[in-house]
Amino acid sequence: MIIIAAIGKMKSSPSYTGLDQLCQTYLKRVQPWCPVQLVELPESQPDREAETLQPYLAKAGQILLWTEHGQSMTSPDWSRFIQQQRDTWG
């Protein structure tokens, strides 16, 4: 299972207009092949974010962290990455 734990509401983020709709589109595409859950957590102080995420981290077989400073992937690269993770972690 993939759990996407996002801190803050995607709908209300002026920096990421349309992110919620894009995320929902990808969730619908992925769900036939792998269970996916999107969890929007309340915003907190940066030093408390790990505490907020802890219940979800405890369930994780693999943890991925995405930030606005991360590396971009093409759709084919992202697809291969997800397939590798699925094959490795089940």
Roughly how many angstroms between the first and final C-alpha of the chain, as a whole number?
Answer: 8
Model confidence pLDDT, tens digit, residues 23-64: 788 888 888 877 888 888 877 777 777 788 788 777 766 677
Question: CA 75 to CA 90: how far, in whole Å?
Answer: 21
Residues 36 and 17 sit within 8 Å (Cβ to Cβ): no
Provide φ and ψ at 59, rounded to 5°. -85, -10
Instruction: Decide: helix, strand or coil at residue 3.
Output: strand
Provide φ and ψ at 6, rounded to 5°. -105, 135
Q: What is the pTM of this model?
A: 0.57
Model confidence pLDDT, tens digit, residues 4-18: 777 776 665 566 566
pLDDT at 90: 60
